[in-house]
Amino acid sequence: MSSSFVTPAEARVDLSAIRHNAALLKEAAGGAEMMAAVKADAYGHGLVPSARAALEGGATGLGVATVREAVALRDAGITAPVLAWLIPPGEPLDEAVAKGVDLSAGAPWLVDEIAAAVRRTGRTVNVHLKVDTGISRGGATAEAWPDLVDAALKAQAEGVIVVDGVWSHFACADIPGHPSIDRQLAAFDEAAGILPGVRRHIANSAALLTLPQARYDLVRPGIALYGLSPIPEMGDFGLRPAMTLTARLALVKRVPKGTGVSYGHLYTTDRETTLGLVPLGYADGIMRNATNRAQVLVNDQRFTIAGRVCMDQFTIDLGDHPATEGDEVVLFGPGDRNEPTCQEWADSLGTITHEIVTRIGTRVPRVHVRQGDRE
């Protein structure tokens, strides 16, 4: 057992991997600019360090969901363009406007709210108008689009806003060949056609990497920046996973054959064996359906979670492996050491990597390193 202090668990984030991925994506984007999607704490990787690494790699701006996320970037001293794209009615906008955050609007009422904030703060806002081309989520429908454009052009004529972008989002860019892709591109061209000269953007990671015709003036990769494939069936695209999630064995003990393990005794030892206790649970984002399913690495050997994942901890059956308290348990990482990847976790849990990394809880410190600096 190590006597020096170690954290019970940590998410190590290799910023040089994020920078590498950003550079690779910028290259793939051709001449388009790149807005790095850093919403949800940079997909769980830590907002500010990840944003800086993406900017180092060639991103020219940052995209977030909420106004609060945008303000957090500004408060950290980041001066690059930041776009916030999910704004409910009544959202306080003055601080973001005063700090030079760009805002998305998908309805005339939001143009009005932005204009009101501009009048209060005295600072003009760059607005990106959002058109719903077929995802049926945010943005104006084709029917509502002309009214939104009218409201925005009127506010622009008054000098209150600058219409700086027209944008949309794909429903199925991660399903190559899906018929909705071409329909969305056609609808996007038609909507953007009434705003000549305004920057256009629609591509997420999957579209950026597989649809050259979707790159337009700006691309908005998220998941690929963190080194996780937007289309796992097509491979890793040369991306490098940035996050390694580890813990230290909190307890190791020998138990007899026939021992029931964790809540509900969903696992029973089939021989005398050694159990290891891992101090991470569903409160930390280790999903409960990882019970008896997901794998971890201990000293170069893989073990499957044994029994119920609890709120703060889970157990593994180490067999006769000579692990001791304090030994490192790797839940996932880039895969260099035969540890599981985040993609393997996602596959075994029936979800996508986005959900695995964004759910890692606040109890798990993000430790930022630059281990992959090979350039």
Active site residues: 39, 263
Asked if 57 touches ligand PLP (CB under 6 A), the answer is no
Residues 132-171 that bind ligand PLP (CB under 6 A): 169
User: Which residue(s) pair with 243 in the sheet?
Assistant: 13
Listed ranges 45-53, 186-194, 214-222, 245-253: which one lies at the site for ligand PLP (CB under 6 A):
214-222
Burial of 211 (0-12, 13-18, 19+ CB in 10 A): middle
- If one asks whether residue 205 binds ligand PLP (CB under 6 A), the answer comes out as yes
Q: Is 85 in the site for ligand PLP (CB under 6 A)?
A: yes
Burial of 196 (C-beta count, 10 Å sphere; 0-12/13-18/19+) = exposed
Least distance CB 320 / ligand PLP (angstroms): 43
Give me the least distance between CB of 34 and ligand PLP, in Å please.
11
The residue among 19 and 169 lying less far from ligand PLP, judged by its C-beta, is 169
- Distance CA(193)–CA(191), nearest Å, equals 5
Q: Which of 204, 273, 274, 291 binds ligand PLP (CB under 6 A)?
A: 204
Asked if 221 interacts with ligand PLP (CB under 6 A), we say: yes
Nearer to ligand PLP, 151 or 206 (CB): 206
Taking Cα atoms as reference points, which of 190, 348, 317, 210 lies closest to residue 253? 317
Is residue 50 within the footprint of ligand PLP (CB under 6 A)?
Answer: no
Of 66 and 292, which CB lies nearer to ligand PLP in the complex structure?
66
Among 46, 222, 241, 334, binds ligand PLP (CB under 6 A): 222
Which one of the spans 51-59, 114-122, 221-229, 286-294 is the region binding ligand PLP (CB under 6 A)? 221-229
Annotated binding residue at 311? Answer: yes
CB of residue 85 vs ligand PLP: minimum separation in angstroms?
Answer: 5
Is 80 or 277 the residue whose CB approaches ligand PLP more closely? 80
Taking the complex as a whole, how short is the minimal distance between the CB of residue 182 and ligand PLP, in angstroms? 19
Residue pair 355/240 in contact (Cβ under 8 Å)? The answer is: no
Residue 344, classified by CB atoms within 10 Å of its CB into exposed (0-12), middle (13-18) or buried (19+), is middle
Site size toward ligand PLP (CB under 6 A) is: 13
Select from 199, 200, 220, 366 the one that contacts ligand PLP (CB under 6 A).
220
Q: Is 226 or 267 the residue whose CB approaches ligand PLP more closely?
A: 226
Question: 365 has which bridge partners?
Answer: none
Query: From the annotation, which residues make up the binding site for substrate?
Result: 137, 311
- Site residues, ligand PLP (CB under 6 A): 37, 39, 85, 169, 204-206, 220-224, 230
Binding-site residues from annotation: 137, 311
